[in-house]
Chains A and B, each alone.
Chain A
């Protein structure tokens, strides 16, 4: 008897670091990871796409600025336009913003220093591929590691983001309260992750792929990956 497992593509750009961890997290949670290459215009029929963390093309100009023009991104853009689930983690989030698939941008951390630590994030909506199995108010423990993670947006975009409920995750304290001390990078409105209007594209600075295996720490990423696998499987079944 064959078992249909959701196939999650993970794109490797030159300078990607967390592609292997993302593939491993997909497998750990019961999905099938599919390695994708930045130079190929082919998503290999996957049910969802992850743009992983790292420093694509060295991030030499701006984070994500060059990766945005990689051949595979034409396919990712078309896939997202057709409602396919797309997740950007850290550098992947930066790429999605540079590509205009998500509003706003990520700039240098307010304190200027690279930050590498565990944080808590509060779920703000179930309406994203990473939170479909979660409820607003849930608090997850996940790590961050970035130098350019301060989310900013124009006043107009920010109004729209908040009005339409596009914020998916906010940095918070363990009890879910949001205070400035809990925001590791000075992000506007403590925004750690957000989705597009359609609800199929989501980006976040924290790294759920580093937090699925209890042998190596907290498991706040499990429910995010479970949500992604569920979303991908539902889409595959509907196709």
Chain B
């Protein structure tokens, strides 16, 4: 079975996010002066062949911990792991 996983990686909340700050600094000049706490993260989507959803989920967590995120500075969240119908697979 083929599963599509969505993982969100973000800098830990206590770390200053320079990219977020840059975006935040640009918004008032465009007329949006009511925005704060902008954080820029990384979204990773990937497809996994696995026997069932639990196996896919476990692998996605392992990959997120070892490669997709650096636990020293980042947190990750698995947003979704869903089975792809055969017709959705390329």
Contact = CB atoms under 8 A, between A and B. Distances in A.
A112 B22 contact: yes
Interface string A55-69: 000000110011001
B67 A61 contact: yes
Contact of A105 (B16, B18, B67, B70): B70
B72 A108 contact: no
A16 B73 CA distance: 24
Nearest to A103: B72
B15 interface: yes
Contacts of A153: 72
Interface in B56-90: 67-68, 70, 72-73
B5 interface: no
A107 interface: yes
A115 to B, nearest CB: 12
B11 interface: yes
A111 interface: yes
B72 A105 contact: yes
A110 B67 contact: no
Given A104-B72, A105-B70, A152 B15 contact: yes
A98 interface: yes
B19 interface: yes
Contact of A107 (B11, B14, B67): B11
A94 to B, nearest CB: 10
Given A61-B67, A65-B67, A107-B11, A97 B72 contact: yes
Interface in A127-180: 150, 152-155, 157
Given A98-B70, A153-B72, A108 B15 contact: no
A126 interface: no
Contact of B18 (A66, A103, A108, A154): A108
B22 A105 contact: no
A219 interface: no
Nearest to A100: B72
Contacts of A112: 18-19, 22
A222 to B, nearest CB: 33
Contacts of B14: 155
A73 to B, nearest CB: 13
Nearest to B68: A61
Contacts of B18: 107-112, 150, 186
Interface of B: 11, 14-16, 18-19, 22, 67-68, 70, 72-73
7 contacts: A61-B68, A65-B67, A65-B70, A105-B72, A107-B18, A150-B18, A155-B14
* A-B CB proximity, top 4 nearest: A105-B73, A105-B72, A108-B18, A112-B18
